[in-house]
Structure 1
Amino acid sequence: MKKVGLFLFILLLALLSIFVGVKDISFTQLFQWDSEQKLVLLTTRIPRTVSLMIAGSTISISGLIMQHLTQNKFVSPSTAGTMDSARLGILVVMIFFPTAPLLFRSLIAFLFAFGGTLIFLSLTRFLPSKNQVMIPLIGVMFGNIVGSIATFFAYQFQLVQNMSSWLQGNFSTVMKGSYELIYLTLPLLVIVYFFAYRFTIAGMGEDMSHSVGLNYRQTQLLGLSIVALSSAVVLIMVGSIPFLGVIIPNLVSMRYGDHMKNTLWITAVGGSIFLLICDVAARIVIAPYEIPVSVVVGVIGSLIFIFLLLRRRTA
């Protein structure tokens, strides 16, 4: 019953996302199927809705993996320097390979994101693991350092405006023929499902992993590779979405526990639902104009994040 309810809710939000926009399209007019409606639906509305659902699921699951691998509820690609490192990689491509295809950009962004995440994990080994706030705080500081380096070189090569506008979380530019790379994250989500039990054990610590015969380092590298590649693809396609990878896994964990295989699909659906709601709100707040969805997610997500911090402190 729970699965049916979530499925119907996300279907309703997807339909709402398709019909909300500058161009008015009513459900009754849909069956007339004139050329203008066909162009709007197939070129922009449907690709945008699909991208929202995939991006929401991918970011949420990436956060879930990071939280298991670091044993910290407040770690995600946006608080571990992963996204900032990928942004630096994209800047390198823009400077040295300005005409490179998207796949090459994704590869370089993945390598930088993976390297940045490994550096963050190396830093966490010198920190007390029981301090749940200190580790993501160090991650944010590390990400700011990487971001400052990227901004410095962006100023040097006069790419600040180009980079900031391109990497801001926004789905208004998603169109048919320019978003399909995001489908690359779908097989990654399938891999996560098959390795979910291993990630759950890894989340119990290195000693527990060794006691049950699990190769902790290999599992950690696999998880980080999935997170880095997913983050790079999402960043290139739709930009940076803050807080989503932190709040959704935490909200799901509060209700359904920490067994990853049981909560994986709920986390994915929850991320899609949250991002769909924020994107629809971004389109109607100052209609007919719209604001970047990252702004709406940042406002709502920050409030939820503060609630999670206060709850963790009083627990």
Structure 2
Amino acid sequence: MRLVTWLSLALITLAALSLLVGAADLRAAFAQDGRAALIFWGSRVPRTLAVMLSGAALAVSGVVMQQILRNKFVEPGTVGTGESAALGLLAVTIFAPDAAIWVKMLAASVAGLAGTAVFLRLIRAIPSRDVLMVPLVGLIWSGVLGAVVLHIGWQTDLIQLVTVWLMTGEFSGVIAGRYELLWIAGAATVLALLAADRFAILGLGHGLATGLGLRPAVVVRLGLVVVAVVTAMVMATVGMVPFVGLVVPNIVSRIMGDNLRKSLLVTALGGASLLLICDIIGRLVIHPYEVPVGTVLGIIGAVLFLWLLWRAPALG
């Protein structure tokens, strides 16, 4: 509980700082006219909420994916979920460009779910259970799907849109009316938090989980839905955000172990805090211009991941 308290205070502090950081000086704007309120409520607040929702949702979905695959080196971004969701968005953009946003989100979620399910079948067909084989196959599968998406985008003159989905992780365009779908990702995160015990038992293996009275297939489907919905909502809103679902769950697990009932909330708070830190750095490093949060997170996340690989887990 002490760690939850400290992380909550850190998140509140970072959120307050995020509201104050930006190209516009709100104090001067308030002194001159009333546009500061429009900037604050129309841009700063939605952006801060979007960053927090995305970070928490991606971190928790990373835990869910790791429990489903029983492998600490995977996340939705390394098993083809994001690329599959992009393929669904691309299909709707080509065949039904005037479709409502909820139709696009549904298509992205279904495609992400299908792509992840195919990956699970690929893993089951591989005889080797080496711990690095799963993420390696995931990266290959992601690369194949990404190549398909890029090829279709190039042929249909939608390459710029595809690039935004797959390569940016950009929150500068988040304003009121353009981030609300992330609350659906937040709801999926809450669902995962409520089912923490089931995911923890699933991580013990299908045989043991069945012996404990769990229906593994049902829990796997629930987990896949959570992962697909979170990935689709985040991708459609801000693009791909790397490493959150990989490094945050591993760091939390090093500190707290694998008791998901206790650690999943910490993971959500840690993911939101990490993404806020990266977003604030991106806004300050070349102020008043911005570096995309995906770029900052790519550097910080890579360093953290290498540290996790280098530093052996503490025993006992």
Superposition pairs for residues 289-300 of structure 1, below 5 Å? 289-300=289-300
Look up the SS of the partner of 1:78 in the other structure: helix
| Equivalent in the alignment of 2:130 | 131
State the Cα distance separating 1:205 from its structure 2 match: 0.3
Q: Residue 110 of structure 1 contacts residue 229 of structure 1 at CA under 8 Å; is this kept in 2?
A: yes
Superposition pairs for residues 5-20 of structure 1, below 5 Å? 5-20=6-21
Q: Given residue 134 of structure 1, which amino acid in structure 2 is its aligned partner?
A: M
Superposition pairs for residues 21-100 of structure 1, below 5 Å? 21-26=22-27, 35-100=34-99
Q: Which whole-Å CA distance do the structure 2 matches of 1:166 and 1:134 have between them? A: 27
* Percent of matched pairs sharing the same residue: 39
Q: Given residue 97 of structure 1, which amino acid in structure 2 is its aligned partner?
A: A
State the Cα distance separating 1:93 from its structure 2 match: 1.4
Q: Which whole-Å CA distance do the structure 2 matches of 1:98 and 1:216 have between them? A: 38
CA shift digits 1:4-56 (9 cap, x unpaired): 32221111100110100000125xx7997951110110000000000000000
The gaps in structure 1 that reach 5 residues or longer are none
| Equivalent in the alignment of 2:288 | 288
Instruction: Quickly say closer, same or farther: Cα 1:261–1:31, change in 2 above 3 A.
Output: farther
State the Cα distance separating 1:274 from its structure 2 match: 0.2
Look up the SS of the partner of 2:311 in the other structure: helix
Look up the SS of the partner of 2:77 in the other structure: coil
Look up the SS of the partner of 1:180 in the other structure: coil
| Equivalent in the alignment of 1:119 | 118
Superposition pairs for residues 1-315 of structure 1, below 5 Å? 1-26=2-27, 35-127=34-126, 130-167=129-166, 168-311=168-311
State the Cα distance separating 1:186 from its structure 2 match: 2.4
Q: Which whole-Å CA distance do the structure 1 matches of 2:144 and 2:239 have between them? A: 19
CA shift digits 1:232-261 (9 cap, x unpaired): 111111110011110000000000011111
Q: Which whole-Å CA distance do the structure 1 matches of 2:285 and 2:226 have between them? A: 35
Q: Given residue 176 of structure 1, which amino acid in structure 2 is its aligned partner?
A: A
Q: Residue 206 of structure 2 contacts residue 216 of structure 2 at CA under 8 Å; is this kept in 1?
A: yes
Q: Given residue 145 of structure 2, which amino acid in structure 1 is its aligned partner?
A: V
TM-score norm. by structure 1 comes to: 0.95
Instruction: Quickly say closer, same or farther: Cα 1:32–1:246, change in 2 above 3 A.
Output: same
Instruction: Quickly say closer, same or farther: Cα 1:312–1:138, change in 2 above 3 A.
Output: farther
State the Cα distance separating 1:69 from its structure 2 match: 0.8
CA shift digits 1:154-184 (9 cap, x unpaired): 1111111222135521000000111111111
Instruction: Quickly say closer, same or farther: Cα 1:209–1:182, change in 2 above 3 A.
Output: same
Look up the SS of the partner of 1:164 in the other structure: helix
Q: Which whole-Å CA distance do the structure 1 matches of 2:161 and 2:22 have between them? A: 26
Q: Which whole-Å CA distance do the structure 2 matches of 1:184 and 1:314 have between them? A: 37
Instruction: Quickly say closer, same or farther: Cα 1:163–1:41, change in 2 above 3 A.
Output: same
Q: Which whole-Å CA distance do the structure 1 matches of 2:36 and 2:185 have between them? A: 29
Q: Residue 86 of structure 2 contacts residue 165 of structure 2 at CA under 8 Å; is this kept in 1?
A: no
Q: Which whole-Å CA distance do the structure 2 matches of 1:282 and 1:113 have between them? A: 29
Q: Given residue 21 of structure 1, which amino acid in structure 2 is its aligned partner?
A: G
Instruction: Quickly say closer, same or farther: Cα 1:135–1:313, change in 2 above 3 A.
Output: farther
Name the count of aligned residue pairs: 313
Q: Residue 127 of structure 1 contacts residue 135 of structure 1 at CA under 8 Å; is this kept in 2?
A: no
Q: Which whole-Å CA distance do the structure 1 matches of 2:300 and 2:174 have between them? A: 23
Runs of 4+ in 1 over 6 A off after TM superposition: 29-33
Q: Which whole-Å CA distance do the structure 1 matches of 2:14 and 2:201 have between them? A: 35
Look up the SS of the partner of 1:125 in the other structure: helix
State the Cα distance separating 1:97 from its structure 2 match: 1.4
TM-score norm. by structure 2 comes to: 0.94
